[in-house]
A = this chain, B = another copy of it.
Amino acid sequence: MPAPQKDTLNLVPFVSVDNMMKLILSIGVEEAIEGIAAQIEADFKRWESFDKTPRIASHSKEGVIELMPTSDGEVYGFKYVNGHPKNTKEGLQTVTAFGLLADVYTGYPVLLTEMTILTALRTAATSAVAAKYLAPKNAKVMAMIGNGAQCEFQALAFKRICGIDTVRLFDIDPIATDKAEFNLKDSGLKVVRTSSHQECVSGADIITTCTADKQCATILTDNMVGSGQHINAIGGDCPGKTELHGDILRRSDIFVEYPPQTRIEGEIQQLDPDHPVKELWKVMTGQEEGRTSEGQITLFDSVGFAIEDFSALRYIHDVIKGTPFYDDLDMLADPDEPRDLYGMVRRAEKSLAAAE
């Protein structure tokens, strides 16, 4: 990250929702996912240079508000994210998020951005990067159970990064499938609509599960999963929220982001706390093996980790340069004389008087 200029140091680039949409469209959705995926892969490969703490959660009856900070010693980032499953019924987003990057050397923020859209992109990017290491060679068909907000981003990420050419859709709510089918019609993917979980997974090389209820649901039972498939389990991401039957877990090789967090939040909360799992970053660096045989069932038990957000924030920080897709936010007090904060406030009297 280049050193910011003193004369603009107190202004923080802010990417609004509107600007994020324009930025991503100007880059291309698939290209943006690919760029974020490259950053995630690079950051996972230097995993040990990051401060890692489980997210800091504030739970309530209706949902959760979390802060997810991390730092590589030079750059600090955090994401604010809520999870309120009941929001959908009230016409609100289940998950909204924003994020911030700061310069560790000065402590000054260098980017503030919406992260609802960006989280969808980084989640899809992470899934596809994991599948690059874990899915069967030449996987072409993905089953997509749960056709909500993540669905299209997952489909495009797997097309771009893993080369799938067919997506099979199923959701218990056909309206969600209508939406996904419509949105993907010009994506270059063959879109196959199915009418049951069982039908959806039939013939798929990769199964992505991404449903949203905050409860232990079993959307995939053991008999549905065949030899050699890769399961990308996105939806189970907090205590009490899982999607897969325990028997599937027990015959899979399980890969996770950060075991202390996944054991609490992921599918593996159903298993013994010492059930063997492999860390994705170790597969990337060659310290652990990924897929070792054609018949093996691989499972990426994804819950979302702070480093992925950090990678996505870094990507946005890089790509906004020279674009019109951000505003400068006057967020940091910057008196000419740092000790004269009061004098700075008092001198604003002139501009206040002028405004009245």
Contact = CB atoms under 8 A, between A and B. Distances in A.
B62 A82 contact: no
B9 A92 contact: yes
Contacts of A92: 9, 106, 108, 334, 338
A65 B104 contact: yes
Interface residues on A, range: 35 or more
Given A53-B56, A341-B116, A342-B149, A107 B88 contact: no
Interface in A100-126: 100, 102, 104-109, 114, 116-117, 120
Nearest to A340: B179
Contacts of A219: none
A230 interface: no
A212 B347 CA distance: 24
A209 to B, nearest CB: 16
A301 B267 CA distance: 46
Contacts of A67: 56, 67, 69, 78
Contacts of A337: 179
A80 interface: yes
Interface string A64-108: 110101010100101010111001101111101010101011111
A179 B343 contact: yes
Interface in A256-303: none
Contacts of A1: none
Given A16-B329, A25-B349, 6 more contacts: A9-B92, A60-B105, A64-B107, A98-B331, A114-B330, A153-B342
Interface of A: 6, 9-10, 14, 16-18, 21-22, 24-26, 29, 51, 53, 56, 58, 60, 62-65, 67, 69, 71, 73, 76, 78, 80, 82-84, 87-88, 90-94, 96, 98, 100, 102, 104-109, 114, 116-117, 120, 147-153, 176, 179, 182-183, 324, 329-335, 337-346, 348-349, 351-352, 355
10 contacts: A21-B345, A22-B352, A25-B345, A60-B73, A67-B78, A80-B109, A82-B106, A92-B106, A92-B338, A153-B341
